[in-house]
Structure 1
């Protein structure tokens, strides 16, 4: 891959920001010394969160993203990455933990663009267009004592996400949050 290809990939990939840092810190703190654990990061983007979990917890981390540019960038960062839609290709009960920083910004459908960065940011009209299907599917890939770390925004409706998680059999507790002028970001820990 040429330097130009790498720059082009980065332009189409969500790069680490405050939400990525908050999710990585919360997951690493909660997982602690995670030797012998298998962790999945869904929607890895640049691979930042997966890389931090692998470096700071000793867990084996697998990452996935639908965006081929993100898969290339994360692999270039040394992250074991699979191109996938949410958790679709993974085996039942395979993961001890799953982390996800989903597209969560509420977006008017008439103002959406058809590109990879829009897909990385837009959560549809209510901000939950990707979160809801994730919650419906993630339980299948979790080990019996598995845990999910899900980043949500106040713009998305934390209470609504907690309610939907409950509908899917999860109990939720907020384990980290950070406030900004326009939103509060929260990391939910989901367990069954």
Structure 2
């Protein structure tokens, strides 16, 4: 995938979500939505399997990268710039994929610019996760599926509970333990002080949550 400066590079979380996406049924013409699309890799993957794919991101560079990657892979995706689901608030989708910012940060607010906007998500890592959980039921078609990836540090149980409150049946379908990268390693002492990891730990568990209507 081509990545433009300032766009989040696909990493282990993207790969885990993509692996699950490949196992989902996608019939030609189904409508897919990828929020926080970054390079557009998940939207491109859905489009290559016949979906009518839409990719949304708040970053202009991410939208440009998504368009370029669709062109390079010979597929068509609709790209929309906006805050989370705002550009598609009145639409419904058969599949919604999300790899949101979820890294806990000492800054309680969301960054408005720079690379940190791709991963920082408040002191509990849930600034975007809670919004996704609240909006997911309204984005899904009657038989639609949500696939969401996050870290164990940002409250997996909280995500499952929030989705359940919205009338969705949610469960963890993929798990992978990953060593900390540079961003996480630099915050390891802070994570430990907050009780998010044991002292000296250097890894997180990534999970994919699958949700559909109960």
TM-score past 0.5 threshold: yes
Which secondary structure does the structure 1 equivalent of 2:55 belong to? Answer: strand
Is the Cα contact below 8 Å between 1:24 and 1:53 reproduced in 2? no
Q: How far does the alpha carbon of each residue in 1:55-82 deviate from its partner, in whole angstroms, 9 at most, with x for none? A: 2x22121100011110111111124211
Q: Distance in 2 between matches of 1:164 and 1:73?
A: 32
Structure 1 residues without counterparts, runs of 5 or longer = 1-6
Is the Cα contact below 8 Å between 1:41 and 1:49 reproduced in 2? yes
In the TM superposition, residue 93 of structure 1 has moved relative to its aligned partner by: 4.9
Is the Cα contact below 8 Å between 1:13 and 1:116 reproduced in 2? no
Q: Distance in 2 between matches of 1:25 and 1:34?
A: 17
Q: Distance in 2 between matches of 1:116 and 1:28?
A: 31
In the TM superposition, residue 53 of structure 1 has moved relative to its aligned partner by: 2.0
In the TM superposition, residue 138 of structure 1 has moved relative to its aligned partner by: 2.2
Q: Distance in 2 between matches of 1:93 and 1:66?
A: 18
Q: Distance in 1 between matches of 2:52 and 2:81?
A: 18
CA gap 1:50/1:167 in 2 versus in 1, 3 angstroms: same
Among residues 4, 18, 23, which one is paired with 2:17 in the alignment? 23
Aligned residue in 1 for 2:189:
none
In the TM superposition, residue 177 of structure 1 has moved relative to its aligned partner by: 1.5
Mapping for residues 56-67 of structure 1, pairs under 5 Å: 57-67=49-59
Mapping for residues 5-154 of structure 1, pairs under 5 Å: 10-31=4-25, 33-55=26-48, 57-78=49-70, 79-90=77-88, 92-109=90-107, 114-154=112-152
- What is the TM-score normalised by the length of structure 2? 0.79
Aligned residue in 2 for 1:3:
none
Q: Distance in 1 between matches of 2:125 and 2:41?
A: 23
What is the aligned residue count? Answer: 183
CA gap 1:84/1:113 in 2 versus in 1, 3 angstroms: closer
CA gap 1:91/1:115 in 2 versus in 1, 3 angstroms: closer
- What is the TM-score normalised by the length of structure 1? 0.88
Is the Cα contact below 8 Å between 2:81 and 2:87 reproduced in 1? no
Which secondary structure does the structure 2 equivalent of 1:143 belong to? Answer: strand
Which secondary structure does the structure 1 equivalent of 2:135 belong to? Answer: helix
Structure 2 residues without counterparts, runs of 5 or longer = 71-76, 180-202
Is the Cα contact below 8 Å between 1:67 and 1:116 reproduced in 2? no
In the TM superposition, residue 91 of structure 1 has moved relative to its aligned partner by: 5.0
- CA-based RMSD of the aligned residues comes to 2.0
In the TM superposition, residue 110 of structure 1 has moved relative to its aligned partner by: 7.2
